[in-house]
Structure 1
Amino acid sequence: MAKIILFNKPYGVLSQFTDDRGRPTLADHIKRKGFYAAGRLDFDSEGLLLLTDDGALQHQISHPRQKLPKTYWVQVEGSVDDEALNALRRGVSLKDGLTAPAKARRLAEPRVWPRVPPVRARKSVPTSWLELTIREGRNRQVRRMTAAVGFPTLRLIRMAIGNWQLGALAPGEQRLEEVFVAPGVTSAPARRPQRPRHRR
């Protein structure tokens, strides 16, 4: 049996255990030895990060060829219209090529934890939320996709990777699970993420 840690990575924490610039890292939160991040989450993004003690499972989760769906809740600047949603669903042209079609829908403002530091939103410009599911792993892809359709990302929370969900984990919290790893078997497609039990 392999072990996997589901970790709610806070804003401003690196998805690695060391940093020569003294920034917060996984070492400040993950004290169990022998676990390594399966994939990454940007410094300025929040939410689900998976760590495992099993090299085969780490490869299955993180390798681009596996194309595990990753679901994000995205706060963007502006009121998202149907044209932008349809563009995301078709695929967006970025500098490194056309993205694969994404699942995209409007999301009522979710009850999530306050971000520290708070999002700097302009009072004169409304914000809205999207749920976006992609199967690629390009650098800062979600942020580039929303910007390309005219709605810059203000806040990004990853809610699910495959069938692993953030659930009720608060920032900095973690949950340990045991999983059976069979050769060539990857996790099942994601279900719609459960809403975390946090309020602003």
Structure 2
Amino acid sequence: MLSSFGTGAMMITVFLLLIAIYILLRFLKGGENREYIEMDEAQEAARISQIKKKEKEFLDSFTGPMLEDGIEDLDMAIESIKLGAEYFDNGAFVEAGEEFVAARKSTDESAKKLKEVIAMVEDPAHTNSVMAKKVLEECKMFREGSERMEKACDAMLDGNEKEAKELAANKEKLLKMAKEWTR
């Protein structure tokens, strides 16, 4: 009976030893798996970063030219505003009115293109989207100013100088904005 007890105890001891070795090996391999997992996570992050970079380049290839077109339209509007103000100062109210109408139309075209850029870009922090929003705000100010000057020209043609002076009161501010405007 003693020999069977010894054999049983030895078998249990060997079994427990095998379990301990298994746990120890599992523990050691777990460290290696963590390294592989960390490497996989780093590779995944690099891949995601590369995908985002490609998406940005793709968006820039579409929105960049549209943004440039919008800015060019605003440049034309600003030139019309400057020319219209010069005509207005020289008393050529018909020509001045035509220039302010052209400026208003150019700002409308610019705003249309800039709104398309904003609509195409989902990320509000995207460079082209931020720039388009900034230029769109300036378009609104130039449009309002050119519309007031157009009405001032019409008032001068109708012989209503008092109303024309009230409408043209912001002409200097409009010209200052036009001279200071840069891309």
Give the TM bin, normalised by the shorter chain: under 0.3
Q: Which structure shows the higher helix fraction?
A: 2
The structure where strand makes up a greater share of residues is 1
Larger radius of gyration: 2
Higher relative contact order (CA 8 A, sep 6+): 1
TM-score under structure 2 normalisation? 0.22
Q: Could you state the TM-score of these two structures normalised by the residue count of structure 1?
A: 0.20
